[in-house]
């Protein structure tokens, strides 16, 4: 039985992410215990809210170095993805540094609201096991006002005024800016792929 652990990062979406795994037949355990997290087969870093609060919670729980040192697959979701990067403009905070780059506030454009909320399309940049079976132009559900830059680590982009990184990977770390738990079949497929043996 695969052991999946959701880091108790205090995000409002944790319950719905856990339920999304339940729909796949997986009991994703919510934990802030270092031993439980370190012994998991898959680790999820969820998050909703501000980068400063998210990093402060990880620091208060004594989990920053643990997360940086994990060797198993790690998936950051929404704010959790942003915290994988070196830093964020949101509160000018240092993040986990598992991916190069700085998360920046999305620019306002005429006729476009920030934060970016709602369904948007994914443009595939390169193949990866996390995106198996998810086609170019697939729709995913976003809620965010800050975004990571497009880089060599970007697997898929989306666009809100300008392109931004929607799915990223560097080594054992993946991130999804959109909410898989709210993205219907696309989100379920991404989570299913994250559990796949082909990912490790």
Residues classed as catalytic: 78, 179, 181
Instruction: Return the residue matching tokens 């870093």.
Output: 45
Q: What sign results for the dihedral spanned by CA atoms 193, 197, 198, 200?
A: positive
Residues composing the chain: 200
Residue by residue, DSSP assigns 56-114 as HHHHHTT-HHHHHH--S-EEEETHHHHTTEEEETTTTEE---SEEEEEEEPPPBTTB-S
Quick one: DSSP state of residue 30?
A: E
């Amino acid at each position: 039985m695969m052991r999946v652990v959701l880091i108790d990062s205090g995000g409002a979406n944790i319950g719905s992410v856990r339920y999304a795994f339940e729909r796949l037949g997986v009991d994703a355990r919510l934990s802030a215990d270092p031993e439980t997290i370190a012994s998991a087969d898959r680790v999820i870093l969820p998050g909703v809210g501000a980068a400063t609060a998210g990093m402060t919670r990880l620091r208060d729980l004594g989990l920053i170095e643990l997360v940086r040192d994990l060797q198993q697959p790690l998936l950051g979701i929404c704010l959790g993805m942003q915290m994988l990067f070196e830093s964020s403009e949101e509160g000018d905070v240092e993040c986990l540094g598992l991916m190069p780059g700085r998360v920046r506030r999305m620019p306002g454009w005429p006729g476009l609201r920030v934060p970016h909320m709602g369904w948007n399309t994914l443009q595939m940049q390169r193949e990866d096991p996390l995106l198996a079976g998810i086609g170019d132009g697939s729709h995913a559900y976003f809620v965010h006002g800050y975004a990571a830059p497009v880089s060599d680590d970007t697997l898929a982009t989306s666009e809100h005024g300008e392109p931004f990184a929607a799915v990223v990977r560097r080594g054992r770390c993946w991130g999804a800016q959109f909410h898989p738990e709210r993205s219907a079949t696309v989100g379920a497929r991404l989570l299913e792929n994250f559990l796949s043996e082909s990912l490790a």
